[in-house]
Amino acid sequence: MVHGAVAYALADTGMGGALYPLLDKDESCATIEIKIVYLSSAREGELVCDTRVVRKGSRVAVLESEIFESDRLIAKALGTYSILVPQRA
């Protein structure tokens, strides 16, 4: 059985990976919060994370991920990310 933190880390990594290409060259991002709902345990097989950007603003982005074991949905996550812009002098 796979620990729930594995699915959480997969969602967090997937969300960051989906958001980074949309950021300007000098921007970065940080997780504000993630809400995850575990629907089933993962027992064997490959875990896959499908992520989509729900909304990207200038300072905050919202993303959602679905974690699958094979074709079975095992968790859904909704994440909020801060978009960090360097301060200009």
Name the CA radius of gyration of the chain, rounded. Answer: 14
Site of tokens 């909704």? 78
pLDDT at res. 83: 97
φ and ψ of 43, to 5 deg: -115, -40
pLDDT at res. 4: 86
Collapse the DSSP code of 31 into the 3-class scheme (helix H, G, I; strand E, B; otherwise coil) and give the result: strand
φ and ψ of 58, to 5 deg: -80, -25
d(CA 51, CA 17): 9
φ and ψ of 81, to 5 deg: -125, 140
pLDDT at res. 89: 62
Question: In this structure, how many other beta carbons lie within 10 angstroms of the beta carbon of residue 18?
Answer: 21
The domains of the chain are located at 4-84
CA of residue 62 relative to chain centroid, distance: 9
What's the pTM value of the predicted model, to 2 decimals? 0.89
pLDDT at res. 86: 85
Ordered per-residue pLDDT tens for the chain, 89 residues: 788 899 999 999 999 999 999 999 999 999 999 999 999 988 888 999 999 999 999 999 999 999 999 889 999 999 999 999 988 76
**Domain topology for 4-84:** Thiol Ester Dehydrase; Chain A (3.10.129)
